[in-house]
């Protein structure tokens, strides 16, 4: 797909990986709507990007947004969805474990409602995460969700063809998801990645390049693209 002149909606497009994707799409001439629950936090929107408020768990709001922007060509969701649980599985609060799955329900919502409004030749990209296939201690909730996202995409790709749908799976990425600043932040990322094949945190722009590949390559569907610095090998 040549994205120039195409219309894109990016959920979670106001921060981190989603924002980097919105900027790369806009830089190549796409018209981009970047949405999240609190889009005002983006400050001034980048050129070619407009922002909209929408919670991926709110199906009425989604229907309204899709109807307003139909038909569109590109649908990306990097929206985390809700609170995520970490820690030992046997001690995990079940409400936290369940709310981690808001990411899956949000993705299911955007695909179910959004695909009906997409133009021929359209492409969808969702974001999972390396723990889906190689979990570290304390990651059972996000591992379960990521695995479900990747399985869902493999299952529905044949059903929604000729629309294409793929997943990009990031490793440890330096984004506003981690609130720490300065030395504390650097030390956290250093510790979390020191045993990786590429021992540093990735950049949101590097993951966005994977998302752009999945959008632009018309022969790729139902697959997962890893942008993880070798997490799965470490
Ligand atoms: N950073 C990493 O190391 C890493 C690793 C593996 C996977 N991932 C995955 O990559 C994706 C993006 O992560 P990121 O690091 O870029 O995080 P981020 O900077 O925190 O961005 C998350 C975005 O999702 C939006 N969002 C969250 N819940 C939402 C909801 N219910 N409805 C609509 N928008 C919602 C947030 O905005 P609002 O708060 O305004 O809604 C924000 O724009 C996530 O799915 C994450 O699980 C990240």
Residue spans per domain, the chain: 7-228
Q: Which residues of the chain have pLDDT under 70?
A: none
Instruction: Check if 144 has its Cβ closer than 6 Å to any atom of ligand 1.
Output: no
Residue % of the chain over a pLDDT of 70: 100
In 3D space, the residue among 195, 217, 134 whose CA is nearest the CA of residue 170 turns out to be: 134
Sequence-ordered list of residues with C-beta below 8 angstroms from that of 40, at least 6 positions apart, any chain:
51
Q: Are 83 and 100 in contact (CB under 8 A)?
A: yes
pLDDT at 142: 97
In 3D space, the residue among 96, 101, 87 whose CA is nearest the CA of residue 146 turns out to be: 101
pLDDT at 171: 98
Q: How far apart are CA 70 and CA 187, in angstroms?
A: 45
For 123-182, what is each residue's pLDDT tens digit? 999 999 999 999 999 999 999 999 999 999 999 999 999 999 999 999 999 999 999 999
Secondary structure (3-state) at 41 = helix
Instruction: Check if 55 has its Cβ closer than 6 Å to any atom of ligand 1.
Output: yes
pLDDT at 101: 98
pLDDT at 204: 98
Provide CATH code, domain 7-228: 3.40.50.720
Ligand 1 centroid to 1 CA: how many Å? Answer: 25
Secondary structure (3-state) at 212 = helix
pLDDT at 180: 97
Instruction: Check if 161 has its Cβ closer than 6 Å to any atom of ligand 1.
Output: no
């Amino acid at each position: 797909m040549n994205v120039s002149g195409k219309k894109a909606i990016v959920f979670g497009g106001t921060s981190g990986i989603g924002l980097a994707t919105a900027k790369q799409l806009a830089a190549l001439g796409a018209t981009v709507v970047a949405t999240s629950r609190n889009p005002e936090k983006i400050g001034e929107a980048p050129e070619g990007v407009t922002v909209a408020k929408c919670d991926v768990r709110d199906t009425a709001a989604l229907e309204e947004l899709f109807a307003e922007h139909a038909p569109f060509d590109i649908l990306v969701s990097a929206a985390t969805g809700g609170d995520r649980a970490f820690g030992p599985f046997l001690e995990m609060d079940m409400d936290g474990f369940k709310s981690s799955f808001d990411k899956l329900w949000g993705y299911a919502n955007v695909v179910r409602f959004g695909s009906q409004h997409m133009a021929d030749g359209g492409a969808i990209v969702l974001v999972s995460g390396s723990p889906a296939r190689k979990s570290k201690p304390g990651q059972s909730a996000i591992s379960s969700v990521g695995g479900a996202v990747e399985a869902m995409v493999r299952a529905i790709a044949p059903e929604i063809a000729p629309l294409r749908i793929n997943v990009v799976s990031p490793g440890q990425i330096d984004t506003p998801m981690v609130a720490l600043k300065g030395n504390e932040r650097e030390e956290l990322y250093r510790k979390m990645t020191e045993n990786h094949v590429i021992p540093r945190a990735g950049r949101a722009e590097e993951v966005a390049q994977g998302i752009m590949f999945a959008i632009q390559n018309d022969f790729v569907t139902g697959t997962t693209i890893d942008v993880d610095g070798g997490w799965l090998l470490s």
